Amino acid sequence: MWTFLAVAVMVCCASVLHTSPLSGRKVPDFGQMYHIKGVISLPYAEIKEPFEGWYDLQGKRSRIDYYHGQVSTFQLSAAGDHGVGYKITPVTTETEFNTMKCFQVNGSKEDPVLPQAALPNPQGFQFELIEYFAGHLCEVWKNVTVVGHKKNTYRLWVARPEVGVSPAIPYHYEMMGYNTLLGSHYDKYLIDYSDFSPKTDPKDFDLPAGMSCGPFPGPGVAHRILANPIQDLIHTSPVGHVNHLFGHFKEKYERRYEDEVEHEKREHNFVHNVRYIHSMNRAGLSYSLSVNHLADRTEKELAMMRGVKLSKTPNKAQPFPTELRALTLPDSLDWRLYGAVTPVKDQAVCGSCWSFAATGALEGALFLKTGERVVLSQQMLVDCTWGFGNNGCDGGEEWRAFEWIMKHGGISTAESYGGYTGMNGLCHYNSSFLTAHVKSYTNVTSGDLEALKAALYKFGPTAVSIDAAHRSFSFYSNGVYYEPDCKNGTDDLDHAVLAVGYGVMDGQPYWLVKNSWSTYWGNDGYVLMSMKDNNCGVATGATYVTLS
């Protein structure tokens, strides 16, 4: 439906006809009313987002739909004292699934709600050249802005029936940002337009009948972006609303950067992650994303937190007992409700996820055996299991930790060993204080969902490995997580977590999984992972322990 995709930009713009300004050339004008369709491409965020816009400046109103009407935003400047913005979007929580809701943002004297253009304002642009774009003879108009270290170059491709005639017909808009301090490009986005019409229907600006609108939930710092996401792209300033959010992010998570260079790099990461998060939330998925403490991290730093180092070495695990298949299983299970799960922890920038999955399985087994919830030491496993093939903060496997515990007679509690440091340390322990004496460990039949359910029901929280190498997982917030690009092969698993239950939400079966990225991540540190097609490999490499 949308013909002009960003990938065609360089291919279609090869034939330059004029490279010098022509006399009498007027700045394009799109008029005070129009309807337009297009696709926003954010290369750094790996997003292509279709949209449709209606604009009526004289009527003081606008509307923009995203993802084929999945999300709609309205900007009605004649409503209220200073205008009102509305956003109609599907909402998924722990108690409802894809319920359409309307949220409202009231303008203020300092920040009124105004009609939002889907096209850039060409005032201040200079004519650059004429060239073909996507088969159309286009004028190219250019604007360059500089604020501090940031130099942004904007270009707009338009066609006209006759030279200088308006309204012009837009075909393409692109922004390229360069940071002189970093010596690199820090931003880029492209918008391809189609189906331009200088007309709208008054009914296009009506809110759905019978829908009541309330305030956005949570703190209000991001509400203006959520209510009008395209605003940050249709402007010619190097600093937008997303950049202002960075200040609130630094304050909330107490970020202190080493110097100006690091600050610029972190802001760069943050801006593109926020754009990705907001765009994905407009796509009507079965889950939602949110800005969390990882939003300024690089992909390399995020990868360091996925510390599973799978090997081809056979282990001494017991085979899964076939008699468990005869168990009558409950429809849902949550070991948190019984006290078998200790609080969510934070592994920090250390590839020790395997130690958290291992201790989680041990803590669950110990609870089932004694009825007591005891917090065990991940740091001990990080420090002491090198001789069994683990590499501390550089990754490891749960079964190797179990082998070490079997040989040495148990594991220390977190209290007796000392706190978790997020780095490799000196191994130390008192044998008389060891607990959770492991008799054996068992590999659940790979890929068998019913077997994993039975293991959870019979033996408690179970260590599992998953494919977590997706930005959507890094910023998961709530709902049933299903990532089409997630793999489930043994060699694809890069992160260890703890399965603590299962259930069904709105017809979608899920695993209840505890992560080790703090309570800032996910739903208080937890994620509901879809069982569909063994998504992300939850059932591929699961292991539970049996205590002596």
Active site (catalytic) residues: 353, 495, 515
Helices (DSSP H) in 464-546: which residue ranges? 471-474
If one counts every other C-beta atom within 10 angstroms of the C-beta of residue 303, the result is 15
> Distance of alpha carbon 532 from its chain centroid, rounded?
20
C-alpha to C-alpha distance for 304 and 281, rounded to whole angstroms: 26
531: helix, strand or coil: coil
User: Which of 247, 188, 205, 234 shows the shortest CA–CA distance to 60?
Assistant: 205
Place of tokens 């997580």: 481
C-alpha to C-alpha distance for 505 and 528, rounded to whole angstroms: 9
Per the CB < 8 A criterion, the answer to whether 500 and 336 are in contact is yes
Residue 443 has which token pair? Answer: 């590999």
Per the CB < 8 A criterion, the answer to whether 56 and 19 are in contact is no
Helices (DSSP H) in 288-329: which residue ranges? 299-304
Per the CB < 8 A criterion, the answer to whether 231 and 241 are in contact is yes
Place of tokens 């005639």: 165
199: helix, strand or coil: coil
Q: Would you give the DSSP letter of residue 361?
A: H
Per the CB < 8 A criterion, the answer to whether 46 and 10 are in contact is no
Q: Which residues pair with 510 in a beta bridge?
A: 503, 530
The one-letter amino acid at 211: M
The one-letter amino acid at 314: P
C-alpha to C-alpha distance for 54 and 522, rounded to whole angstroms: 35
Radius of gyration of the chain (CA): 27
Q: How many residues does the chain have?
A: 548
Residue 84 has which token pair? Answer: 């009102």
39: helix, strand or coil: strand
Per the CB < 8 A criterion, the answer to whether 36 and 170 are in contact is yes
Pairing of strands 508-514, 287-289: unpaired
Residue 218 has which token pair? Answer: 């949570």
